Amino acid sequence: MAPRRFGDAVVYQVYPRSFQDSDGDGVGDLGGILARLDHLTWLGVDALWLSPIHPSPNADWGYDIADYDGIAADLGTFEDFDRLVEGCRARGLRLLLDLVPSHTSIAHPWFREHPERYCWHDGPAPPNNWRATFGGPAWSRDPVNGRWYLHSYYPEQPDLDWSRPDVVDAMQAVIRRWRERGADGFRIDACTRIAKDPERRDDPPRTTPSPFNWHPEYGALEHVHSKDGPGIGAALAAVRDAAGDAPLVAEATLPNEQLGRYLEHVDACFAFELQAAAWTAPALNHALGRALALEDGLAWVLGNHDVPRLASRVGPERAAAAAVLLLTLPGPVFVYQGDELGLADGPAPAQPLDRAGRDGARTGIPWQAGAAHAGFTTGEPWLPVAEPPTWAGGTAAEQRSDATSHAALHRDLIALRRELSGPATAVGLGPDTVAFARGDTVVAIRPDGGPVAAPEGELLLRTARGDGIVVRRA
């Protein structure tokens, strides 16, 4: 079944542990998400994507899954999930789940009961020089059987062997069960790692700069054998077969020209070259030009749970222009929770929880001023909840009642994008400006924060600083 694309949908990413706690244990949960759905409908988004909700030892905070068919006890129950599905449908929201098909937790029963489903090597040393994404070797010795197992991420996340039919069958069954339970679609995590070189050859040294901000040790190699292998098409075809016509969005961290094989089976791939670009006009124009050359199939994203928050990366004073850029591009757009508030990274705990340093991007949402922990929880939060000036623009409640707020800008942009149509074509408005046209409408931003020199026409939207505009040409 061929992909049907995902239109111009706006998808709101929820990191469940950090969105809203409903039972006072300090951890966000499904009940809390349900309680805050009206925030999403106020914004006008079309769908929400949940980062993993399954049981996990949390070596990688949910992305090390110990049971694909369960729900983590601190996030809720199946009854809570069913109520969330009903709440989404009542509001016209589609619900996307995170599918993590490339690896499991080492605590997953399969690792001991079905070790044949994983990637192993027998011998005195690893078979190649492959490196893990977070640094270090991608092979570890299992202390139980003495064999080497492959892990593209942490040692607690052994890779599944997708060349095996039983792995394909098991993952297809997982997809079908969650579809039956009410999932409308899936974001496919780390899908380049599903297929590797069957000969397990060494990755060569990198000779050209990478467009992505990799760990230095990982980035020193060209990953031509440890990922994006020849079996990727068959693997994604199996995922599509199980998902039916459900939207599939792939996390494929590859240069744009290498995404074609993925787009044969999924509705969109994230445009990570744009997310990773420096916040300068030359860098953004370069990344945007490369992306738009693909014409179709990209999902636009500037923030997520893996990188510092957008306001921390580009500066809080430039976050409005970033929103203008993101929310006017053609194709699906993903907004990370808190970015609509201009939220910067929160305080890191005294003892960091995430080994990759991502705690600051995962702190709780400030919902209400004056409430304990800004309304995120009545208990002790699992991560410290941000306080002013991290949310100097105001809490969610304050911003929803302020027509000039960052949240109101997001709402206005989401409404405006319904009026836009057609592809984006570059418009030259000077070396300091990023500008493109969609039909008779011109979008322009100044990454340096200066005011945009507006072309003639009807001004549809302007940021408070004037560093982002949308104009309908006469």
Tokens of 317: 């004073």
Contact 471, 442 (CB under 8 A): yes
Q: Which candidate in 197, 228, 251, 359 is catalytic?
A: 251
Q: State the SS3 of 410-471.
A: HHHHHHHHCCCCCCCEECCCCCCCEEEEECCEEEEECCCCCCCCCCCCEEEEECCCCCEEEE
What are phi and psi for residue 15, nearest 5 degrees? Answer: -95, 100
CA–chain centroid gap for 388, Å, is 26
The tally of CA atoms less than 13 A away on the side-chain side of residue 453 is 7
CA atoms of 287 and 272, how far apart (whole Å) = 9
Residue 8 makes CB contacts below 8 A (sequence gap 6+) with 330, 331, 332, 333, 417, 418, 420
189 has catalytic annotation:
yes
Taking the C-alpha atoms of residue 310 and residue 344, their distance in angstroms, rounded to an integer, is 7
In Å, how far are 16, 32, 99, 259, 298 from 270, measured between CA atoms?
21, 27, 15, 10, 6
Q: What are 401-406's contacts with CB under 8 Å, separation 24+?
A: 404/464, 406/319, 406/320, 406/323, 406/340, 406/341, 406/342
Q: What is the helix (H) or strand (E) element at residue 37, kind and residue range? A: helix 37-43
Give the three-class secondary structure for 14: strand
The single-letter DSSP state of residue 205 is B
- Residue 64 annotated to the active site: no
Strands (E), 209-338: 248-250, 268-270, 298-301, 333-336
Sign of the dihedral defined by the CA atoms of residues 175, 181, 185, 188, in that order? negative
Containing 49, the helix (H) or strand (E) segment is strand 47-50
Residue 89 in 3-state DSSP?
helix
Q: What share of the chain is helix, strand, coil (3-state, %, to 5)?
A: 30, 15, 55
Question: Which residues face 96 on adjacent strands?
Answer: 49, 185
Single out the catalytic residue among 189, 273, 340, 354.
189
Return the ∠ at Cα 250 (arms to 222 and 115), rounded to 5°. Answer: 75
- Annotated catalytic sites, by residue? 189, 251
